């Protein structure tokens, strides 16, 4: 075979590999396409940089936060479902939902590494155009915190300007959290749960109850006898652990980007984020570790 023949054969082989298969859909005039199913026209047109003159890094900042909101939307969907499943004693599928939430949390925490590529000088070029907007005003983030038990009525009033968001947060404020629903599940299955915890004002933050630590101590003393409850306890600890890692990574990125400046929304910035590290959703599940 000559060199020309060899080259021609190679080219023909490459073309055959790249050819679109006969059965692949090409005409979408009467059928749904990938883009239409996902609403990509609207989604990809939802980034509106405001810097003038335009700054290259603003698109990164916008997409980072928009994708975070999409993941938060899915997290809310899964947490609501897990809570509902616990309420009907469907523990196994509830744990499946929580397993998915943990993967979402890992993705959200990993995203901070992308934003961390934004240097202080680069962020300073776009920060003025954020005006008073801030991640502090993410109502979906607050909804996740409410579902996990960090209730704060003052946060609802931050969203008086967004009727839908305010209504959702007001509803979640008065509803049992995921942990409250787990305690109800325990009580229905014969575990010692103080009555005051089952019929409390759910709009208030949850407080540690030493009597419940005793109950969890019995579970951890004999995991094989309480496997479903034991597994759920550890899943909840995983959730909180992941949440704290997200908070800490957020703190790190803010520190390296703006130092100790005040947040655009008026918070104290780094100091505000550091105080959040002291919050806990499931206090008895950490207190019990001293007993084990």
Mark the binding-site residues, compressed into ranges: 61-65, 123, 127, 250, 264
Sign of CA dihedral 152, 158, 161, 165: negative
What is residue 20's DSSP assignment? P
- Pick out the residues of the known binding site for heme: 250
The residues, ordered by sequence, that sit 6+ positions from 122 with a Cβ below 8 Å of its Cβ are 55, 57
Integer Cα distance of 274 and 104 in angstroms: 23
Let me know if 175 is exposed, middle or buried by CB neighbors in 10 A (0-12, 13-18, 19+): middle
Integer Cα distance of 45 and 55 in angstroms: 18
Residues listed for the chain: 292
Residue 52 phi, psi dihedral angles, 5° rounding? -145, 110
**In the structure encoding, which two tokens stand for residue 202, read together?**
């759910």
What is the tally of helices (H) and strands (E) in the chain?
15, 0
- Pick out the residues of the known binding site for substrate: 61-65, 123, 127, 264
Integer Cα distance of 144 and 150 in angstroms: 9
Number of neighbouring beta carbons within 10 Å of residue 93: 14
């Amino acid at each position: 075979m000559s060199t020309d023949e060899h080259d021609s054969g190679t080219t023909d082989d490459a073309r055959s590999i790249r050819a679109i298969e006969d059965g692949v859909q090409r005409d979408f005039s009467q059928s749904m396409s990938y883009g239409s199913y996902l609403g990509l026209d609207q989604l990809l047109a939802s980034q509106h940089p405001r810097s003038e003159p335009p700054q290259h890094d603003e698109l990164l900042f916008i997409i980072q936060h928009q994708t975070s909101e999409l993941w938060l939307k899915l997290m809310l969907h899964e947490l609501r479902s897990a809570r509902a499943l616990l309420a009907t004693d469907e523990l196994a599928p509830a744990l499946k939902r929580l397993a998915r939430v943990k993967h979402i949390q890992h993705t959200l925490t990993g995203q901070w590494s992308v934003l961390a590529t934004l240097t202080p000088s680069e962020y300073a070029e776009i920060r003025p155009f954020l005006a008073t907007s801030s991640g502090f005003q993410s109502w979906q983030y607050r909804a996740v915190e409410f579902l996990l038990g960090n209730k704060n009525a003052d946060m609802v009033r931050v969203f008086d300007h967004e009727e839908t968001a305010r209504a959702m947060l007001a509803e979640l404020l008065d509803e049992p959290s995921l942990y409250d629903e787990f305690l109800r599940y325990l009580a229905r299955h014969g575990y010692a749960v103080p009555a005051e915890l089952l019929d409390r004002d759910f709009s208030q933050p949850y407080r540690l109850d030493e009597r419940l630590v005793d109950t969890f101590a019995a579970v951890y003393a004999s995991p094989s006898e309480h496997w479903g409850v034991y597994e759920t306890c550890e899943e909840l600890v995983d959730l909180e652990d992941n949440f704290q890692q997200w908070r800490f990574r957020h703190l790190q990125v803010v520190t390296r980007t703006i130092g100790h400046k005040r947040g655009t929304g008026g918070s104290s910035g780094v100091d505000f984020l550091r105080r959040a590290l002291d919050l806990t959703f499931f206090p008895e599940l950490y207190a019990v570790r001293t007993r084990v």
